[in-house]
Amino acid sequence: MAELDMSEAISAFHAQRPRLLQDHGPSWVVFVGAEFKGSFKEFDDAATFALDKLGAADFLIRHTEEHIPHIPLVVVEAA
């Protein structure tokens, strides 16, 4: 399995997090590279959106709050 380089998406998330938190409140956000794709109240909704709408793109899902008790790590590879 090749190593994923998510550094661009992670950097974009951290740079945009204050604005995202202000605009969308506590929520799960989806990034592809540096591009913000959407905000969702539930993790399942963010994951469903990413899988259904983003095809084979590598995506990042993170929560806008700094400290949440559990962040699931999910890696999905295309067949």
Q: What is the mean pLDDT of each run of 10 residues along the chain (79 residues)?
A: 81 95 95 96 94 91 77 60
CA dihedral 29→35→47→4, nearest 10 degrees, is -120
- Residue count of the chain: 79
**What's residue 68's pLDDT?**
58
Contact 31, 46 (CB under 8 A): no
Task: Compute the distance between CA of residue 46 and CA of residue 43 in angstroms, rounded to an integer.
Answer: 5
Q: What is the pTM of this model?
A: 0.81
**What's residue 1's pLDDT?**
52
Q: List the chain domain ranges.
A: 7-63
| Tokens standing for residue 55 | 């095809």
Report the 10 Å Cβ neighbour count for 54.
14
Report the 10 Å Cβ neighbour count for 55.
10
